[in-house]
Structure 1
């Protein structure tokens, strides 16, 4: 006598759900506050405070990502100039204080692969660019958490 399975009929819809990917493009923010290299840091600081953000992408006239400016970059400038009561000068621009070596993320990356990239890099957000370097949006750690809430436990 053979062994019978008591599991019942298998649900094949679960295997299809597991194959579906949740992409960065599904959860990235596309309405971003961006900055130009020629913007003054005083203007940047005012916008960071007004919009309750800690930084933003710096783009050129073609909307290509050229850097990131953050609160830390602004504080560094303040500590070097205003603390010593030095006048604002040409160094008071985004272009002179931004970070230009920026890690980006692809819009077609799986959102959970992006989560591992967050853990490995200890970054709070990644700009999303296309193959030409044009800024498409931004993925934050909070966006990954939103995606995780919408996913059923069995698709992890």
Structure 2
């Protein structure tokens, strides 16, 4: 099985049509998009489309705690996003990505090719590949 999974590439299973946010997006608007699109998080990009962070469900829950306890307005994505996210390359093998997911505290990796954001791969994408193989 591992040999077959090693032959599969991220580019063949990654999501390409991504919901993305900018740092200046209102975090409540981002939460609405996460719920609407039934996703667990999304890349945060600057005005040039460069990846600058990730916003996850967990990050959004932190916003709820801060706003609830401190009585402050929700804020911007920039206030809650994870910075400098771990990324993978579109040509990485799914076996390598499965290994990284075992140790990762998150459910998705942004996918880059030639230093450009081209997609996102999730744990469920890797499981889909395993399911197709067997």
> Which interval holds the TM-score relative to the shorter structure?
0.7 to 0.9
Give ranges in structure 1 of 5+ residues lacking alignment: 1-16
Scaled by the length of structure 1, the TM-score of the pair is 0.76
How big is the shift at 1:150?
Answer: 2.3
How big is the shift at 1:149?
Answer: 2.2
1:94 aligns with 2:77: yes
1:141 aligns with 2:127: no
How big is the shift at 1:84?
Answer: 3.6
Larger Rg belongs to: 1
Partners of 2:56 and 2:46 in 1: CA distance: 17
Q: State the partner residue of 2:37.
A: 51
Partners of 2:51 and 2:21 in 1: CA distance: 10
Give ranges in structure 2 of 5+ residues lacking alignment: none
Does the Cα contact within 8 Å between 1:68 and 1:102 map onto a contact in 2?
yes
**Structure that is richer in helix per residue:** 2
Q: How does 1:1-156 map to 2 (within 5 A)?
A: 21-86=7-72, 88=73, 92-132=75-115, 134-151=116-133
How big is the shift at 1:126?
Answer: 0.7
Partners of 1:38 and 1:137 in 2: CA distance: 21
Scaled by the length of structure 2, the TM-score of the pair is 0.87
* Secondary structure in structure 2 of the residue aligned to 1:112: helix
Partners of 1:120 and 1:97 in 2: CA distance: 23
How big is the shift at 1:128?
Answer: 0.2
* Secondary structure in structure 2 of the residue aligned to 1:109: coil
How big is the shift at 1:146?
Answer: 1.4
Partners of 2:112 and 2:93 in 1: CA distance: 15
Q: How many residues align?
A: 131
* Secondary structure in structure 1 of the residue aligned to 2:15: coil
Does the Cα contact within 8 Å between 1:65 and 1:129 map onto a contact in 2?
no
**Structure that is richer in strand per residue:** 2
